[in-house]
Amino acid sequence: MATSKACLKLLIDKKSQKVLFAEAGKDFVDFLLYLLTLPLGSVIRLLTEQDMVGCLGNLYKSVDELSESYMNTSETKESILKKTVSISATEFPLLECGNNTVKETSRACPSRVSPLYRRRNVLSSEQVISSEQVPSAEKGFVKGVVTYLVMDNLAVSPLSSISSITLLNKFEIQDLSALEERVVDLDMDEALKLLIKESLQSKTVLTKVFLGSMENQDVINEVVRN
């Protein structure tokens, strides 16, 4: 059964109130990598008008409200605002539901839904593969047998004991008692919008999302595990 929660283990410097890095699984890293493939219009559509950076939200809204009579074809506006991506839905379940993004209604989306995202019914025009044909381990971008290190600036790398020690030295952590390990459960429906928003504005995304404003905390359900 699909879930709207995802889990991250944060390492926090209590003195500076900063997230040093997070340990994450395949699903969360797949989502971060998928952000790089999103058309700009899709990113804007995931954010509210208040969240959007600069004037792009205004541009998007004005085009959305523009009569199709001003467009060359009836499909022009939809191709701009709801542009599909080239990645097959069997490889990665896209954000946001929308049946109108499937150009051929006879093509059904695979039944597997990632626990991180609401699935969007988009199929690659170049390749359509049933979910039975694709081993679950091959779906998404990264391998699932690895725990990943996600930095505050969203840089991703495989986690190892050596990499953790190296980072502690890099951050010049002298007092280990100043560090707090916190496991958080994300309410993905809203928290992912925060991740997208902050990734467009900040170089300290994890800190802004998890230690930021009370408004952010209202949409993040934190669960501390021993």
- Using one digit for the tens of pLDDT, what is the confidence trace for 97-127? 443 333 333 333 443 333 333 333 333 333 3
- The overall longest dimension of the chain from CA atoms, in Å, is 66
pLDDT tens digit sequence for 197-217:
888 888 899 999 889 855 555
Cα–Cα distance for residue pair 18/178, rounded to 1 Å: 11
Q: Considering the entire predicted model, what is its pTM?
A: 0.65
d(CA 138, CA 131): 11
Phi, psi of 224 (to 5 degrees): -90, 125
> For residue 202, what pLDDT is reported?
85
Instruction: Centre a 10 Å sphere on the Cβ of residue 145 and count the other Cβ atoms it contains.
Output: 7
Residue-range domain boundaries for the chain = 5-25+146-222, 84-145
Q: How far apart are CA 34 and CA 26, in angstroms?
A: 12
Give the pLDDT of residue 59.
Answer: 74
Residues in the chain where the model's pLDDT stays below 70: 1-5, 48-54, 56, 84-138, 187-192, 213-226
